[in-house]
Amino acid sequence: MTDFTRRNFFKAAGVFGGIAAVSGLAGCAPQQTGAQNDLAETGAASESSNAPAYDIAETKDCDIVVVGGGMSGLAAAVSASEEGHHVVLIEANTNTGGNGHGTEGIFACGSSLQKELGINFTFEDVIAEEFNFFNYLIDALAWKDLVEASADNVDWLASNGVLFDGVDNYRGQGKLDAFHWYAGGAAAGYIEPMTAKAEAQGVEILYSTRGRELVTDNGRVCGIVAEAKDGSYVQINAKGGVILATGGYADNDDKLREMGINPDRVARKGFPCHEGDGLDMAVAVGGVDERNRRCVMREPGTRGCDFESALGALAIRNGGPVMYVNQNGERFTNENAIVHNDAFACNCILKQKSSFTIANDAILAAIDANVPPIVDNLSTAAAAALSEEGAGVFKADTIEELAAQIGVEGDKLASELAHYNELCQAGRDTDFGKEPEALVAMESGPFWAFEHGLFYFSTIGGIKTNRSFEVCDADDEPIAGLWAVGTDGCNLYGDTYTVMMPASCMANNINSGRCAGRAAIDACSA
């Protein structure tokens, strides 16, 4: 991983403060449908069961199955195998880590590293921020469990070989000094040592293997049918049960459309094979689909341009001294919203059918003069993108000509820009309250338009779970032998991943995986 990863960017206020002065698998097999496989642990059909939907080529027996080898799946596998239990981990890709390859660290409160650095905050500090953001529409007990376990979880990771090299507030993006950076990035700091630990403890890892259908006996989950790379099916019977850690559904167009998301605006930046398998399997045995109460980890950028580029990574995505307009040529938000919360950078465009960043040559030059050169020069990148097929980048000498290129009525866009310039000259945004330091007039061309796209990394939540990460039915009763961990069952957030407690999602990945692993051990002897 490079130093500049998916969230390693600068606060708009800091970046633009001086501007006013200068002006895996190649593809996943299609989801099969079939009757619920209601089998005893031996694999024989019960008298009341439906016929198996798959031709089973092989049967395995183990204590616990973990479905998905990402961050939470690895935590679950290591936890479940600590006492010598036979754990089988199935992973759809050819290596472990999943979307964790795009992460950089983990949240904790009260860890050994924080104590060494004199960092001291409490759960009250955490929950106050989350209560305020979500209008109290969150599960405070889930947050309390997470925060209280977080320090021990980080110390547990360190004892299993995970490497950390510092703690901060996510370089200014979080509210508290809670972000524990992986040394050398996620691959070297977490994925490699945790994979090695799982293998050392005897975890059997089946790569290029995708979970298809849960096996149940009298309502209890006791195994899974999985599809291997060659298309054959293996039934894995598990005495303790199954832990779903499949990482959500961000790659499934149909599931995104069901949530009102247009996949045509989406560029996937996560690891492949997140098709919602865990969700489908959980629902098939009585679990509840609660996607409409959960969120997607997403950020806006320039359509058709690389995320980790000047066009994807700086002002064109994050706001600052530019103007946002929608498909009607209307300005609709405070473009500097990221100063208040990272997630706002995407939320502010989601209510529009389409939207654009408007800038001019002087704005691009000012950004280049005030931003450390961690990525390509913005002006150069914008000019190069004009000739790139599919890139949402447009340039014209006049604002009316630019309007014609992006399909907006010329007089309307010209009037909107004139009004915006008046606000900038007055130093006060009476429309949307943008900070004075980010109000920079665009008096002359050439002008640029950058069409917004949505970079999707991961969905967060979707399977209904309880505080023990057990999958629950419509009556809130747990389904025996089934857990959903990581982003499959995360219920910390509502419609927005806030990032106020940086890497709290990763903290949930580890906490849920570790807790479910221990619970599955207990189920083995029940």
Query: In this predicted structure, what is the pLDDT of residue 376?
Result: 66
Range with the largest mean pLDDT of 20-24, 211-215, 363-367:
211-215
pLDDT tens per residue across span 383-397: 999 988 889 999 999
Q: Which residue has the higher pLDDT, 22 or 54?
A: 54
Q: How far apart are the C-alpha atoms of 13 and 342, rounded to whole Å?
A: 12
Torsion of CA 204, 205, 206, 212, to 10 degrees: 90
Query: In this predicted structure, what is the pLDDT of residue 368?
Result: 81
Residue 165 covered by a domain: no
Number of domains making up the chain: 1
Residue 311 covered by a domain: yes
Cβ(224)–Cβ(241) below 8 Å: no
Q: Which amino acid type is present at position 54?
A: Y
The lowest-confidence range among 11-25, 250-264, 500-514 is 11-25
pLDDT tens per residue across span 300-346: 788 888 777 777 754 455 678 999 999 999 999 999 887 777 678 78
Residue 366 covered by a domain: yes
Query: In this predicted structure, what is the pLDDT of residue 372?
Result: 59
Confidence class of residue 179 from pLDDT cuts 50, 70 and 90? very high
Query: In this predicted structure, what is the pLDDT of residue 373?
Result: 55
Residue 390 covered by a domain: yes
Confidence class of residue 90 from pLDDT cuts 50, 70 and 90? very high
pLDDT of residue 374 exceeding 70, the answer is no
Question: Which residues on adjacent β-strands are paired with residue 463?
Answer: 289
Query: In this predicted structure, what is the pLDDT of residue 408?
Result: 96
pLDDT of residue 37 exceeding 50, the answer is no
Question: The sheet that has 164-168: what strands, in order across it?
Answer: 105-107, 179-182, 164-168
CATH number of the domain to which 391 belongs: 3.90.700.10
Cβ(344)–Cβ(401) below 8 Å: no
What is the dihedral sign for C-alpha 406, 410, 415, 421? positive
Query: In this predicted structure, what is the pLDDT of residue 35?
Result: 33
Residue 347 covered by a domain: yes
Confidence class of residue 103 from pLDDT cuts 50, 70 and 90? very high
pTM: 0.85
Domain assignment of residue 317, given as a range: 298-455
Q: For residues 102-131, give the mean pLDDT.
A: 94
Q: How far apart are the C-alpha atoms of 472 and 260, rounded to whole Å?
A: 25
Query: In this predicted structure, what is the pLDDT of residue 371?
Result: 66
Q: What is the DSSP string of 35-75?
A: --EEB-TTSPBPTTPPPPSS-EEEEEEEEEEEE--BHHHHH
Q: Which residue has the higher pLDDT, 189 or 175?
A: 189
Q: For residues 200-211, give the mean pLDDT.
A: 98
Return the structure tokens found at 237: 């019977």
Per the rule left: phi > 0, alpha: psi between -120 and 50, beta: everything else, 281 is: alpha
DSSP-based three-state secondary structure for 312 = helix
Residue 450 covered by a domain: yes
Residue 413 covered by a domain: yes
- Chain-wide mean pLDDT for the chain? 86
Residue 396 covered by a domain: yes
Q: How far apart are the C-alpha atoms of 85 and 83, rounded to whole Å?
A: 6
Q: Please give the C-alpha separations between residue 414 and each of 402, 403, 417, 422, 427, in angstroms, as whole numbers.
A: 10, 8, 5, 12, 20
DSSP-based three-state secondary structure for 368 = helix
Residues 6+ apart with CB under 8 A from 136: none
Query: In this predicted structure, what is the pLDDT of residue 148?
Result: 97
